[in-house]
Structures are given as structure tokens and as C-alpha cells.
Amino acid sequence: MYRVTLSEKEIPKKWYNIAADLPVEPPMPDQTEEGHQLENLPKIFSKGVLEQEMSQDRWIEIPKEVREVYEKIGRPSPLFRARGLEDHLDTPAKIFYKREDLSPTGSHKLNTAIAQAYYAKKDGAELLTTETGAGQWGSALALACSFMDLDCKVYMVRISFKQKPYRKTIMQLYNSEILASPSDKTEFGRKMLEKDPNHPGSLGIAISEAIEDALKDEKVYYSLGSVLNHVMLHQTVIGLEIKKQLEKIDETPDVIVGCVGGGSNFAGAVFPFVKDKLDGDLDCQFIAAEPTSCPTLTQGEYKYDFGDTAGLTPLIKMYTLGHDFIPPSVHAGGLRYHGMSPHVALLVHEGIVEGRTVSQTELFKSGEVFANVEGVIPAPETCHAIKIGMDEAIKCRKSGEEKNIIINFSGHGLLDLQGYDDYLSGNLTD
Ligand SMILES: *Cc1c(COP(=O)(O)O)cnc(C)c1O
């Protein structure tokens, strides 16, 4: 057996909301002075997602229209057994990987993009603005807007705008407008360009520009690809499917690992299993893999901070490297973010989730191994999770334990070949 599949009918009918089951009361966004931006939220987000952001309901129904588009993009995604990797590592562990790379834009991000575009349209919006780093989120939202008949405008971090021309083409093909950020189209962008006309940009700056647009026009909403509670919620289709798939083959997970930028693919895979662990029904390790160059969970502080650089978002309690932290431009662009999902952060703080770092050389080495034994070329982001999954499988070789290791395979690397090229030619830095 290489592949565990589910039928279209088995697409989950509800998302799982971890807010109902957290082990401690989650800290509220700061509503005092600096945190006053809370009143801006209804101008920025649709009613549908704002309700979900604050909801305490354990299960939230997935609208029929959203489930139909999930079907169209190929959900449920298969769970693969990595027999090639098991043989290569000579491990008694069973390694599985959940194929979020098989969606049309090549990552998990469509799971929330489709839902966010649906609620924006329902609420009468005409345009969604957003930020994108490497372009995975921008291309997912561009496609979701195209499906839902909405306009889309993407602020793309300037350095990626130059380095990733093909992601730009994908977004243009899906009829979205792309601006290099900082741009001269917003006040905050102009302020950044005054400081440095060649500013490389950052996710935090691009978020500020996109929010500024939404604040200025009531037909415009902003959409965020990670970090927020409703994004984690939408991604739980991943873990709910994994649960059904493991049940089908009579297995339970011992280790689940995912990479973390803002935390969404990790949360999606892991959250549906957290309650079982808290209830004592499941003995499973949850490991979040992050870059050594942007070590939010392992080196950041657990405190209130802004989600963007200009300070337009509410203050949220999370692990953060500081909202003015500009991470070095590593190839795993999707993991270059100073903050973290408050729910993932809380679980790390409570010791339920563990953070680990992976260096740039290590991750490409793991990606090369994986590509050769499994055939799929992983995104540099995904390679972080693969490296940690491999480490755990090697531990099993030494201990003889037959653990089930689940890797959330967040995306493919076919548009990240520059990174692999630098790795192969010895031009990588850590
Ligand atoms: C965006 C992205 C990530 C990081 O974002 P999360 O919200 O932490 O999941 C990881 N992998 C891929 C392939 C991505 O596109």
C-alpha cells in the first residue's frame, strides 16, 4: 500500500475550531491604547471570517459552495506512505506524508483562500487585497478570487517580485493585479521608499499596504494567508482527512510534523489531534519546524505584538521576533515571518507543541533525498518538516520503535528551483 484515499463524499462537512478545546483561556487581543486597531477589523474583514475569528464553537459548518470548490481542486488529498524513504533510512518507523502539493497552485493555501473569497463575495466585496512573499499565497488567493468572481490585488515583497517571475505570471494569468512592495501606491509604501528607494520589502510591510487599501474603501476587504484563527480553522480539513485516512488503515499517529511560517499548515494537520492528546486518548508528539534564520518559536518572546510592520493590526499575544524584524532572504520565503498563530503559540507555551529549527543546507539536503526516493520535489518550506521527520525515523532505527510519523507535505518545489540550483552548485549560505 502506497496511498490512502478518500472519496469526494468524505470531504469534511465541518471545520474544527480549537478555541473550544484549548487547555487555558487564550489571551484576548489587547484592546487598550496601542491595541485600539480592533475597531478597524470590520472594515478589513468580511462578517463571515470575523465571526469565525472570535467563535468558541467546536465545529463550524463548511458551506456547500466551499465544499464544491474543495472537490474541484482535488480534495480530499491523498495520504502517501513513504516506503522509499523508510527503506533509505532503514527504519522500523512508518512514514506517511499528506499531499497538499497536489492542489492547482501547489500548496495548502487554497483551503483558506477559497473560504475567504467565498465570505467576502457573500458580504458584497468587489476586491480582495493581500500580501505575498514567495507568491504561494498570492497565487492561491488569485485563483480563489477568479473562482468566486472577485477582483484581486497582491502586494508582493519586492525582492521576490524580482526573484520569482513565474509566480507573478501565475497570478497575472488568474487576472490579479500585482504590485511590488513597498509600492508608491500607499502612504506606508511611499514612506518606506523615501527611506530607501531600493527597499527589498518584507511580509510585514506588504501586509500594511494591503490593509491600508481595505481601510480606505468599503468594497475592498483584506485577506491574510496565515496567523489568524480563521485561517487555522479552514486548514483543519487537512488533519480531519488524515484522521479518517489513518482510521481506514487502523493506525494512529505517534509523531506529526509540519513546517511553520505563520502556523497554518501545521495547525491544519495537528489541531484535530490535540484534543485527543489533552484527553489522554492519544500519545503523540507534535513538532513545528522553523528556519534557523527566522526562529520565532525557539528564540522569539511570548508577548503582545503587531502582525504587520506599520502597526495596523491589533496587538496579539504570540511568539514574535519583533514586528520590525526583517528576516534574511532565505529560499523558504513562506517561513519568513516575525510572528506566529496565537493558537499555535499558546500550545507551544503550554508544552503541547514543540518547536525545532532546521538550517538552509540541512533542508535542501533532505529535499534532495526525498526527491530521489519518493520522486516528489518538496518546497523549501516543506523540507523543514521532512528533515525533522527523517530525524525522528532515524531515532526509531536506533531504538527499534515502530512509530507512525506523519509529515504534512505543504507544497511542491517546482517553482523554487533557484534554491535547489544554489544548493547543487554550492552557493548556499546558512
Ligand atoms: C506559505 C507556505 C508555508 C508557510 O505558511 P504556514 O501558514 O506556516 O503554513 C509552508 N509551506 C508552503 C508550501 C507554503 O506555501
Q: What residues contact residue 383 under an 8 Å CB cut-off, 6+ apart?
A: 259, 332, 358, 363, 364, 366, 367, 370, 413
Nearest CA to ligand 1 atom 1: 334
In which residue ranges of the chain is CATH 3.40.50.1100 found? Answer: 16-36+43-64+109-229, 73-106+235-424
Is the torsion defined by CA of 147, 149, 155, 156 positive or negative? positive
Grid coordinates representing 316?
A: 496579539
Q: Is the pLDDT of residue 28 over 90?
A: no
Binned at pLDDT 50, 70 and 90, residue 31 comes out as low
pLDDT in tens, 185-243: 999 999 999 999 999 888 889 999 999 999 999 999 999 999 999 999 999 999 999 99
Ligand 1 neighbourhood includes 408 CB (under 6 angstroms) = no
Query: Cell numbers 496567523 label which residue?
Result: 227
- 259 CB under 6 A from ligand 1? yes
pLDDT band per the 50, 70, 90 thresholds, residue 328: confident
State the distance from the centre of ligand 1 to the C-alpha of 261, rounded, in angstroms.
6
Asked if residue 182 has a cis previous peptide bond (ω within 30° of 0), the answer is: yes
pLDDT in tens, 308-325: 888 888 899 999 999 988
With a 6 A CB cut-off, is 136 part of the ligand 1 pocket? Answer: yes
Peptide bond into 76 cis (omega under 30): yes
Q: Closest Cα to atom 13, ligand 1: which residue?
A: 411
**Can you give the pLDDT at residue 61?**
98
pTM equals 0.96
342 lines ligand 1 (CB under 6 A): no
Residue 125 and residue 414 in contact, taking contact as beta carbons nearer than 8 Å: no
What pLDDT does 34 receive? 61
**Ligand 1 closest atom vs CA 106:** 13
**More confident site: 40 or 112:** 112
- Ranges of beta strands (E only) in 229-378 are 255-259, 285-291, 301-305, 316-320, 353-358
Distance between Cα 303 and ligand 1 center (Å): 23
Per-residue pLDDT tens over the stretch 345-393: 999 999 999 999 999 999 999 999 999 999 999 999 999 999 999 999 9
pLDDT computed for residue 239 by the predictor? 98
Confidence check: pLDDT of 160 > 90: no
The predicted model gives 26-36 an average pLDDT of: 70
Residue 262 CB less than 6 A away from ligand 1: yes
265 C-beta closer than 6 A to ligand 1: yes
Please state, in angstroms and rounded to a whole number, the distance separating the CA atoms of residues 176 and 139: 9
Report pLDDT digits (tens) over 329-357. Answer: 777 777 878 899 999 999 999 999 999 99
**Ligand 1 atom nearest residue 335's Cα:** 4
Asked if 98 and 406 touch (Cβ cutoff 8 Å), the reply is yes
pLDDT of residue 196: 95
CATH topology of domain 16-36+43-64+109-229: Rossmann fold (3.40.50)
Ligand 1 contacts CB of residue 411 (under 6 A): yes
Tell me if 334 CB under 6 Å of ligand 1. Answer: yes
Read off the pLDDT of residues 84-128 as tens digits, 9 standing for 90 and up: 999 999 999 999 999 999 999 999 999 999 999 999 999 999 999
Nearby residues of 215 by Cβ (< 8 Å), 6 or more positions away: 40, 43, 44, 312
Q: How far is the CA of 159 from the centre of ligand 1 (A)?
A: 18
- 109 close to ligand 1 (CB < 6 Angstrom): yes
Asked if residue 339 has its Cβ within 6 Å of ligand 1, the reply is: no
What pLDDT shows up at residue 307?
87
CATH class for the domain made up of 73-106+235-424: alpha beta
Task: Give the span between the Cα atoms of 128 and 134, in whole angstroms.
Answer: 19
Q: Is 403 left (phi over 0), alpha (psi -120 to 50) or beta?
A: beta
Q: Is 292 in the pocket of ligand 1 (CB under 6 A)?
A: no
Q: What is the pLDDT of residue 33?
A: 60
Nearest to 233 by CA among 383, 66, 348, 413: 66
The answer, yes or no, to whether any atom of ligand 1 lies below 6 A from the CB of 263, is yes
Q: Which of 101, 376, 381, 416 to mutate to test the pocket of ligand 1 (most atoms within 8 A of CB)?
A: 381
Vertex 351, ends 350 and 353: CA angle to 5°? Answer: 110
| pLDDT of 151 above 60 | yes
